[in-house]
Amino acid sequence: MSDNDKAPIDFWFDFSSPYGYLLSERIDEVAARHGRKVRWHPILLGVVFNATGSAPLTSQNPAKAAYSVRDFARSARFLGIAYRHPSRFPLATQNAARAFYWLHGQDCTLARHFAHATFRALFVADRDISAPDTVREIAADLGVDRDSLAAALQSPEIRARLKAEVDQAMQTGVFGSPHVLIDGEPFFGADRLPQIEKWLETGGF
């Protein structure tokens, strides 16, 4: 089978997910080494958690919350990725996710650059990516017209697109962030990266 025949990988994440950020910094290069492309799907973990009765790690018991904050930073160091725990956490990501889907409809490479810039704005520069202004600034730095984006964030089409993506994710079995699907096999968590690599290498184990 030539590389062109290989199905893309799906990658679901919330822009406020630390482990989603860590995997976002590695998933494309790992997939590319095995001739795969990755489809990125920002979703709203709050909606998923409400539907499934889950909660963010840092809203769980104090021991687990304290460990999680420590593990976010240590896992980033382990992977060699810059990380500063955000002063606002978790935070709403619907504006960032809607901007992603609007940009993706025009230029998928631009959408990918926007996604990386948004993750880094939150997890390196500690910016408030919940604010529409911040989302517009991040996009404007990539050459996107602010007013068109502002209009898009309010458009019923883009809102419906995000809702459809979240619904589709839940139907696929996504219950957290990050979640990766390779030829029907699900992987949850940035710590499954070694298993993802082996799966791509061997076609399943």
| CB closer to a copy of itself out of 21 and 100 | 21
Residue 181 engages a copy of itself in binding (rule: CB under 8 A): no
Check binding of 60 to a copy of itself (CB under 8 A). Answer: yes
202: which 2 tokens?
Answer: 């061997």
46 is a site residue for a copy of itself (CB under 8 A): no
- Which residues face 181 on adjacent strands? 10, 186
Nearer to a copy of itself, 168 or 195 (CB): 195
- What is the nearest approach in angstroms of a copy of itself to the Cβ of residue 75? 7
Helix H or strand E encompassing 169? helix 156-172
Task: By CB under 8 A, tell whether 205 contacts a copy of itself.
Answer: yes
Least Cβ distance, residue 188 to a copy of itself (angstroms):
6
Question: Which region, judged by CB under 8 A, interacts with a copy of itself, from 5-13, 61-69, 85-93, 98-106?
Answer: 61-69
Nearer to a copy of itself, 113 or 192 (CB): 192
Distance CA 68, CA 188 (A): 16
Contact between residue 27 and residue 179 where contact means Cβ atoms under 8 Å apart = no
Q: How far apart are CA 194 and CA 205, in angstroms?
A: 12
Nearer to a copy of itself, 143 or 205 (CB): 205
Nearer to a copy of itself, 67 or 89 (CB): 67
Q: Toward a copy of itself, which CB reaches closer, 143 or 194?
A: 194
CB 182 to a copy of itself: min, Å: 12
Q: Which helix (H) or strand (E) holds 85?
A: none
Distance CA 161, CA 168 (A): 10
**CA gyration radius, the chain:** 17
The span of 70-78, 99-107, 124-132, 144-152 binding a copy of itself (CB under 8 A) equals 70-78
Interface with a copy of itself (CB under 8 A), residue from 37, 39, 74, 84: 74
Q: b/e per residue, 48-68, with b = 16+ CB within 10 A?
A: bbeeeeeebbbeeeeeeeeeb
> Mutual orientation of helices 94-106 and 132-140 as an angle, nearest 10°?
30
Residues whose CB is less than 8 angstroms from the CB of residue 132 and which lie 6 or more positions away in sequence, other chains included? 95, 150, 153
Under the rule (CB under 8 A), what is the footprint of a copy of itself? 52-54, 60-61, 63-64, 66-67, 70-71, 74-75, 77-78, 170, 173-176, 186, 188-189, 191-192, 194-195, 198, 205
